[in-house]
Amino acid sequence: MENKKLISIFTPVFNEEKNIIKIYESVKNVMLKVQGTYDYEHIFSDNASSDNSYALLKDICKKDKNVKVISLLKNFGITKSTLNGLYRCRGEAVIQIDADLQDSPEMFIEFFEKWEEGNKVVYGIRKDRDENWIMKNIRKLFYRIANKISNDNLVPDVGDFRLMDKLIINALKNIKDYNPYLRGIIANLGFKQIGIPYHRQKRYMNYSPKSGQLNKVIFDLP
Protein backbone atom coordinates (compact mmCIF):
# COMPACT_ATOMS: atom_id res chain seq x y z
CA MET A 1 0.00 0.00 0.00
CA GLU A 2 1.35 3.41 -0.99
CA ASN A 3 2.27 5.70 1.89
CA LYS A 4 0.08 8.75 2.36
CA LYS A 5 1.65 12.17 1.81
CA LEU A 6 2.33 14.22 4.92
CA ILE A 7 0.86 17.74 4.97
CA SER A 8 2.10 20.34 7.44
CA ILE A 9 -0.32 23.00 8.64
CA PHE A 10 1.57 25.94 10.14
CA THR A 11 -0.13 28.51 12.40
CA PRO A 12 1.78 31.42 13.97
CA VAL A 13 0.39 32.48 17.36
CA PHE A 14 0.62 35.66 19.41
CA ASN A 15 -2.00 36.17 22.14
CA GLU A 16 -4.61 34.01 20.43
CA GLU A 17 -6.12 32.20 23.42
CA LYS A 18 -9.67 32.94 22.23
CA ASN A 19 -9.02 31.50 18.77
CA ILE A 20 -6.82 28.46 19.37
CA ILE A 21 -9.50 25.86 20.06
CA LYS A 22 -11.55 27.00 17.07
CA ILE A 23 -8.67 26.95 14.57
CA TYR A 24 -7.46 23.60 15.92
CA GLU A 25 -10.89 22.00 15.57
CA SER A 26 -11.55 23.57 12.16
CA VAL A 27 -8.26 22.26 10.74
CA LYS A 28 -8.81 18.82 12.25
CA ASN A 29 -12.32 18.56 10.77
CA VAL A 30 -11.06 19.39 7.28
CA MET A 31 -8.13 16.99 7.46
CA LEU A 32 -10.45 14.18 8.56
CA LYS A 33 -12.16 14.56 5.18
CA VAL A 34 -8.92 13.70 3.36
CA GLN A 35 -7.45 11.21 5.82
CA GLY A 36 -7.57 8.47 3.18
CA THR A 37 -5.07 10.44 1.08
CA TYR A 38 -3.03 12.55 3.50
CA ASP A 39 -1.49 12.40 6.95
CA TYR A 40 -0.95 15.73 8.65
CA GLU A 41 0.80 17.62 11.41
CA HIS A 42 -0.48 20.92 12.78
CA ILE A 43 2.41 23.04 14.00
CA PHE A 44 1.70 26.09 16.14
CA SER A 45 4.50 28.59 16.76
CA ASP A 46 3.85 30.67 19.87
CA ASN A 47 5.77 33.94 19.59
CA ALA A 48 6.10 34.60 23.35
CA SER A 49 2.41 35.25 24.00
CA SER A 50 1.51 36.96 27.26
CA ASP A 51 -1.90 35.27 27.58
CA ASN A 52 -2.81 31.58 27.96
CA SER A 53 -2.07 30.62 24.36
CA TYR A 54 0.86 28.35 25.18
CA ALA A 55 -0.95 26.58 28.02
CA LEU A 56 -3.87 25.80 25.71
CA LEU A 57 -1.57 24.54 22.97
CA LYS A 58 0.38 22.36 25.38
CA ASP A 59 -2.87 20.80 26.58
CA ILE A 60 -3.99 20.07 22.99
CA CYS A 61 -0.58 18.49 22.29
CA LYS A 62 -1.02 16.00 25.08
CA LYS A 63 -4.31 14.83 23.56
CA ASP A 64 -3.57 14.92 19.84
CA LYS A 65 -0.44 13.40 18.32
CA ASN A 66 -0.94 15.44 15.14
CA VAL A 67 -0.28 18.71 16.98
CA LYS A 68 3.16 20.14 17.77
CA VAL A 69 4.10 23.40 19.46
CA ILE A 70 7.10 25.65 19.08
CA SER A 71 7.36 28.06 22.02
CA LEU A 72 9.80 30.92 21.53
CA LEU A 73 11.92 32.41 24.29
CA LYS A 74 11.06 35.96 23.19
CA ASN A 75 9.08 37.74 20.49
CA PHE A 76 11.28 37.52 17.41
CA GLY A 77 8.86 39.31 15.09
CA ILE A 78 6.56 37.78 12.51
CA THR A 79 9.14 37.12 9.78
CA LYS A 80 11.76 35.33 11.87
CA SER A 81 9.24 33.35 13.88
CA THR A 82 7.44 32.34 10.68
CA LEU A 83 10.64 31.18 8.98
CA ASN A 84 11.64 29.22 12.08
CA GLY A 85 8.28 27.46 12.02
CA LEU A 86 8.29 26.75 8.29
CA TYR A 87 11.77 25.23 8.47
CA ARG A 88 10.58 22.78 11.09
CA CYS A 89 7.65 21.51 9.03
CA ARG A 90 8.21 17.98 7.72
CA GLY A 91 5.43 17.77 5.13
CA GLU A 92 5.53 17.30 1.38
CA ALA A 93 3.56 20.54 1.38
CA VAL A 94 2.99 23.26 3.99
CA ILE A 95 -0.15 25.35 4.42
CA GLN A 96 0.26 28.58 6.37
CA ILE A 97 -2.93 29.80 8.05
CA ASP A 98 -3.47 32.36 10.80
CA ALA A 99 -5.30 31.54 14.02
CA ASP A 100 -8.07 34.10 13.60
CA LEU A 101 -10.10 32.13 10.99
CA GLN A 102 -10.28 34.98 8.52
CA ASP A 103 -9.03 32.38 6.07
CA SER A 104 -11.12 29.22 5.99
CA PRO A 105 -9.50 25.78 6.37
CA GLU A 106 -12.23 24.51 4.03
CA MET A 107 -10.10 25.92 1.21
CA PHE A 108 -7.45 23.28 1.93
CA ILE A 109 -9.34 20.89 -0.35
CA GLU A 110 -8.95 23.25 -3.33
CA PHE A 111 -5.33 23.87 -2.39
CA PHE A 112 -4.63 20.13 -2.50
CA GLU A 113 -6.28 19.76 -5.89
CA LYS A 114 -4.20 22.54 -7.43
CA TRP A 115 -1.04 21.21 -5.81
CA GLU A 116 -1.63 17.73 -7.17
CA GLU A 117 -1.98 19.32 -10.63
CA GLY A 118 1.66 20.41 -10.38
CA ASN A 119 1.50 23.87 -8.81
CA LYS A 120 4.22 24.43 -6.22
CA VAL A 121 2.50 27.43 -4.63
CA VAL A 122 -1.27 27.78 -4.27
CA TYR A 123 -2.37 31.05 -2.71
CA GLY A 124 -5.65 32.64 -1.70
CA ILE A 125 -6.66 35.87 -3.46
CA ARG A 126 -8.77 38.14 -1.25
CA LYS A 127 -11.44 39.23 -3.70
CA ASP A 128 -13.70 40.48 -0.93
CA ARG A 129 -13.67 40.74 2.83
CA ASP A 130 -15.99 41.49 5.76
CA GLU A 131 -14.96 45.04 6.65
CA ASN A 132 -16.14 48.58 5.99
CA TRP A 133 -15.81 50.20 2.56
CA ILE A 134 -13.03 52.60 3.63
CA MET A 135 -10.71 49.93 5.06
CA LYS A 136 -11.41 47.59 2.16
CA ASN A 137 -10.33 50.17 -0.38
CA ILE A 138 -7.34 51.35 1.64
CA ARG A 139 -6.07 47.77 1.63
CA LYS A 140 -6.60 47.41 -2.11
CA LEU A 141 -4.72 50.67 -2.71
CA PHE A 142 -1.88 49.54 -0.46
CA TYR A 143 -1.39 46.27 -2.36
CA ARG A 144 -1.31 48.08 -5.69
CA ILE A 145 1.14 50.76 -4.50
CA ALA A 146 3.37 48.07 -2.99
CA ASN A 147 3.40 46.24 -6.32
CA LYS A 148 4.33 49.43 -8.19
CA ILE A 149 7.31 50.32 -5.98
CA SER A 150 8.53 46.77 -5.34
CA ASN A 151 11.16 44.99 -7.38
CA ASP A 152 9.15 41.83 -6.87
CA ASN A 153 6.23 40.78 -9.05
CA LEU A 154 3.51 40.77 -6.39
CA VAL A 155 -0.05 39.55 -6.95
CA PRO A 156 -2.55 42.11 -5.55
CA ASP A 157 -4.75 41.04 -2.60
CA VAL A 158 -2.58 38.06 -1.66
CA GLY A 159 -1.46 37.54 1.94
CA ASP A 160 0.20 34.64 3.73
CA PHE A 161 -2.63 32.12 3.33
CA ARG A 162 -1.10 29.62 0.92
CA LEU A 163 0.15 26.12 0.27
CA MET A 164 3.82 25.69 -0.50
CA ASP A 165 5.49 22.56 -1.82
CA LYS A 166 8.54 21.44 0.16
CA LEU A 167 10.66 22.64 -2.78
CA ILE A 168 9.67 26.19 -1.81
CA ILE A 169 10.72 25.66 1.81
CA ASN A 170 14.06 24.25 0.68
CA ALA A 171 14.57 27.24 -1.61
CA LEU A 172 13.87 29.65 1.26
CA LYS A 173 16.56 27.96 3.33
CA ASN A 174 19.13 28.86 0.67
CA ILE A 175 18.30 32.58 0.68
CA LYS A 176 20.68 34.49 2.92
CA ASP A 177 18.65 37.46 4.07
CA TYR A 178 18.50 38.68 7.67
CA ASN A 179 14.94 39.97 7.35
CA PRO A 180 13.43 38.74 4.05
CA TYR A 181 10.15 39.88 2.53
CA LEU A 182 8.62 36.42 2.24
CA ARG A 183 5.64 37.29 0.03
CA GLY A 184 7.90 38.86 -2.56
CA ILE A 185 10.51 36.11 -2.46
CA ILE A 186 7.96 33.29 -2.76
CA ALA A 187 6.16 35.08 -5.60
CA ASN A 188 9.39 35.32 -7.58
CA LEU A 189 11.11 31.98 -7.02
CA GLY A 190 10.08 30.85 -10.49
CA PHE A 191 8.02 27.81 -9.52
CA LYS A 192 4.57 27.17 -10.98
CA GLN A 193 1.94 29.05 -8.95
CA ILE A 194 -1.80 29.59 -9.02
CA GLY A 195 -4.28 31.66 -7.01
CA ILE A 196 -7.80 30.88 -5.80
CA PRO A 197 -10.19 33.82 -5.17
CA TYR A 198 -12.08 33.75 -1.88
CA HIS A 199 -14.12 35.87 0.50
CA ARG A 200 -12.17 36.77 3.63
CA GLN A 201 -14.10 36.62 6.90
CA LYS A 202 -13.96 38.90 9.93
CA ARG A 203 -11.44 38.00 12.59
CA TYR A 204 -13.02 35.30 14.77
CA MET A 205 -12.04 36.91 18.09
CA ASN A 206 -9.89 39.87 19.11
CA TYR A 207 -6.49 39.69 20.75
CA SER A 208 -6.53 39.14 24.48
CA PRO A 209 -3.16 40.31 25.90
CA LYS A 210 -2.59 40.15 29.63
CA SER A 211 -0.07 41.95 31.76
CA GLY A 212 3.17 40.19 32.53
CA GLN A 213 5.33 37.96 30.36
CA LEU A 214 5.49 34.21 30.69
CA ASN A 215 8.90 32.56 30.67
CA LYS A 216 9.25 30.38 27.57
CA VAL A 217 11.81 28.03 26.11
CA ILE A 218 12.00 26.61 22.61
CA PHE A 219 10.07 23.42 23.03
CA ASP A 220 8.61 20.75 20.75
CA LEU A 221 6.11 18.26 22.09
CA PRO A 222 6.09 14.84 20.38
- Break the chain into its structural domains and give their ranges: 5-200
Strand partners, 195: 123
For the domain 5-200, what is the CATH superfamily, name and number?
A: Spore Coat Polysaccharide Biosynthesis Protein SpsA; Chain A (3.90.550.10)
Confidence of residue 181 (pLDDT cuts 50, 70, 90): confident
The overall average pLDDT reported for the chain is 84
pLDDT over 80 at 1, yes or no: no
Q: Which of 13-22, 111-120, 174-183 comes out lowest in average pLDDT?
A: 174-183
**% pLDDT > 70, the chain:** 76
pLDDT over 60 at 163, yes or no: yes
pLDDT of residue 214: 35
Strand partners, 205: none
DSSP per-residue codes, 56-102: HHHHHHHH-TTEEEEE-SS---HHHHHHHHHHT--SSEEEE--TT-S
Q: Which of 7-21, 129-143, 154-168 comes out lowest in average pLDDT?
A: 129-143
Q: What mean pLDDT is predicted for residues 114-128?
A: 93
Residue 185 dihedral angles phi and psi, to the nearest 5°? -65, -50
Q: For the packed helices 20-33 and 108-116, what is the interaxial angle rounded to 10 degrees?
A: 50
pLDDT of residue 172: 93
Confidence of residue 141 (pLDDT cuts 50, 70, 90): low
Q: What mean pLDDT is predicted for residues 164-186?
A: 89
